[in-house]
Structure 1
Amino acid sequence: MRNLDITTLRSFVAVADSGGVTRAAGFLHLTQSAVSMQLKRLEELLGLDLLDRSGRTIALTASGEQLLAYARRMVALNDEVIGRLTDQAFEGEIVLGVPHDIVYPVIPRVLQRFNTAYPRVKVQLVTSYTKTLKLQFSRGGCDLILTTEVERTGDSETVAERPLVWIGAADGSAWRQRPLRLAFGRHCTFRPRAIQALDAAGIAWEMVVETDSDRTIEATVSADLAVHTMIEGTEPPYLRQIDHGGSLPDLPAQMINLYGADSARNPIVTELADLLRKSFAGISAPRLQSVS
């Protein structure tokens, strides 16, 4: 197995950028002979001529031009890794509050990407209801919070606006039953809107699950014992949007709001806020799958 050396690639890039070994040596704080030796080793490793030395100035061969693009990327990635892992400025802890029902699918991806970029920064994820998170944020208990609300309030910014949809089991039929069996959290902000829409449509309903546990709700719904509502695009993979064909009422749009981004003095908090902003804006609407 042959392995490319970053130091050798760095010398190669420097020669290509400066147009000669002498200038590259000065830039790299190496002797001219050291740079020449590194280039020779690189050519021997690859078994290719990378530099055209036939003229008065050094030029890249076709193979050298091809290698240059890869070399730039490898050197840049090396420097990024070293910078991220050794820069003591990127340390600390960020407390991020997110409502239970919008953790999936964005938050796991955001946490993974953020940890890759800032491995020394700990993100403490707090999940609760919007009302609780706003109270914690007002008391300084969270650096950033996301909320689900019907409007933009206070110093928040809306990072996504999506409709509420009816959610049921894959290939389920609970949505056809009357009274309609519902499963909701006791403090869920979607609950009164769903009930209001059902009452306005004259559809009888009964609350068969009232709990503080999202797992309990998801288990009940996935067993086809009740239906639930979620923001479009945030349902877990084992539940489905209900293709009810108008048998259930439409539900209002819901805003996902971000608090704390504007007042963040820590640049790393700002980085996390920007990642959240971009990730939620990029949620694609899932394909509607009939559970009829």
Structure 2
Amino acid sequence: MRNLDITTLRSFVAVADSGGVTRAAGFLHLTQSAVSMQLKRLEEVLGLQLLDRSGRTIALTASGEQLLAYARRMVALNDEVIGRLTDQAFEGEIVLGVPHDIVYPAIPRVLQRFNASFPRVRVQLVTSYTRTLKAQYARGECDLILTTEVERTTDSETLAERPLCWIGAPDGSAWRQRPLRLAFGRFCTFRPRVIAALDSVGIPWDMVVETESDRTIEATVSADLAVNAMIEGTEPVHLRQIDHGGTLPNLGAQMINLYGADKARSQIVENLAGLVRKSFSSIAVPSLQAAG
């Protein structure tokens, strides 16, 4: 009877999620050689090749893809058992505030990993605009918040600095029209910057959608009826960065800042802050995809 080891399965899942041994090793707090050895041991136990190492990046083989679903379930079940039976000390609730436009792809992974480690702690996710979240944080209504701002602040920790990009429909042409049709939230912090950039180069514009609903904006842009701006790497899969060739103005960089980590009142808040840091530092920014 052959038995699968949870440690090797955890390493396998980490490599699959992060796209490489180096990042997986950092997430697991192990050396690269230790992770590679665990993957080799797993392949030997199963008698299968799980990873295709022939290219520049590691990819899963067909057997690896099949194992991944099982591995996730086994690791999650292991963590649930350990958490429920031994983690009695950590209970309560943490309120995490995140702007709408940077929830994906990082935050779902953060919540999943945190829940595996602290199953008795509830994380209440609050999504809103940066200025609203900062006001809630100032009133003590949030333990941790993320913000999108144009500068670093003395009372926060900057997790990432990313370009603000023009976003449109796949193979869309709305960005070529004049006046340029825009779709933005009423309180979006990107909106004044976008308008100022267009005015500075003399491009006429028309705000065709002004709403508090992100879904409305996404639907309008994906229908190629308007364009929007988002931080590079946070656009939904059904929208694309616009390869405008310099016909639209540069929008500069945007800071993703974390507030509250320096005032963490407990170990569990600091653990959540650590996962947020790691997730935003490890997101691979996709290559530019044309939208027209």
Given that residues 79 and 116 in structure 2 are in contact (C-alpha distance below 8 angstroms), is that contact kept between their aligned partners in structure 1?
no
Aligned counterparts of 1:212 and 1:185: Cα–Cα separation in 2: 5
One-letter identity of the residue aligned with 1:241: Q
Cα offsets for 1:94-115 (capped at 9, x unmatched): 1000001111111111111111
Q: Does 1:228 align with 2:252?
A: no
One-letter identity of the residue aligned with 1:250: N
Alpha-carbon offset, residue 154 of structure 1: 3.9
Aligned counterparts of 1:271 and 1:106: Cα–Cα separation in 2: 15
Identical-pair percentage:
72
Equivalent position of 2:95 in the other structure: 95
Given that residues 84 and 90 in structure 1 are in contact (C-alpha distance below 8 angstroms), is that contact kept between their aligned partners in structure 2?
no
Equivalent position of 1:239 in the other structure: 239
Cα offsets for 1:161-216 (capped at 9, x unmatched): 10100000011000000000000000000000001111111111000000011110
Q: Does 1:170 align with 2:163?
A: no
Alpha-carbon offset, residue 219 of structure 1: 0.4
Structure 2 SS opposite 1:262: helix
Aligned counterparts of 2:120 and 2:291: Cα–Cα separation in 1: 45
One-letter identity of the residue aligned with 2:133: L
Given that residues 168 and 240 in structure 1 are in contact (C-alpha distance below 8 angstroms), is that contact kept between their aligned partners in structure 2?
yes
Question: Which residues in structure 2 correspond to 1:160-239 (within 5 Å)?
Answer: 160-239=160-239
Equivalent position of 2:19 in the other structure: none
Cα offsets for 1:92-136 (capped at 9, x unmatched): 111000001111111111111111221111110000010110110
Change (3 A) 1:84 1:149: same
Alpha-carbon offset, residue 84 of structure 1: 2.1
Q: How many residues align?
A: 225
Question: Which residues in structure 2 correspond to 1:84-123 (within 5 Å)?
Answer: 84-86=83-85, 87-123=87-123
Aligned counterparts of 2:181 and 2:242: Cα–Cα separation in 1: 14
- The TM-score normalised by the length of structure 2 is 0.73
Change (3 A) 1:5 1:100: closer
Equivalent position of 2:258 in the other structure: 258
Given that residues 129 and 187 in structure 1 are in contact (C-alpha distance below 8 angstroms), is that contact kept between their aligned partners in structure 2?
yes
Change (3 A) 1:134 1:5: closer
Cα offsets for 1:136-180 (capped at 9, x unmatched): 001110010000001122411000110100000011000000000
Structure 2 SS opposite 1:197: helix
Alpha-carbon offset, residue 285 of structure 1: 1.5
Question: Which residues in structure 2 correspond to 1:60-75 (within 5 Å)?
Answer: none
Equivalent position of 2:277 in the other structure: 277
Given that residues 95 and 144 in structure 1 are in contact (C-alpha distance below 8 angstroms), is that contact kept between their aligned partners in structure 2?
yes
Equivalent position of 2:70 in the other structure: none
Aligned counterparts of 1:200 and 1:156: Cα–Cα separation in 2: 31
- The TM-score normalised by the length of structure 1 is 0.73
Cα offsets for 1:38-57 (capped at 9, x unmatched): xxxxxxxxxxxxxxxxxxxx
Given that residues 80 and 116 in structure 2 are in contact (C-alpha distance below 8 angstroms), is that contact kept between their aligned partners in structure 1?
no
Aligned counterparts of 1:282 and 1:3: Cα–Cα separation in 2: 35
One-letter identity of the residue aligned with 2:101: D
Aligned counterparts of 2:182 and 2:78: Cα–Cα separation in 1: 54
Structure 1 SS opposite 2:270: helix
Aligned counterparts of 1:208 and 1:276: Cα–Cα separation in 2: 35
Q: Which consecutive residues of structure 2, in runs of 5 or more, have no partner in the other structure?
A: 6-40, 46-74
Given that residues 80 and 119 in structure 2 are in contact (C-alpha distance below 8 angstroms), is that contact kept between their aligned partners in structure 1?
no
Equivalent position of 1:286 in the other structure: 286
Question: Which residues in structure 2 correspond to 1:42-57 (within 5 Å)?
Answer: none
Given that residues 159 and 281 in structure 1 are in contact (C-alpha distance below 8 angstroms), is that contact kept between their aligned partners in structure 2?
yes
RMSD: 2.2
One-letter identity of the residue aligned with 2:121: V
Alpha-carbon offset, residue 3 of structure 1: 7.4
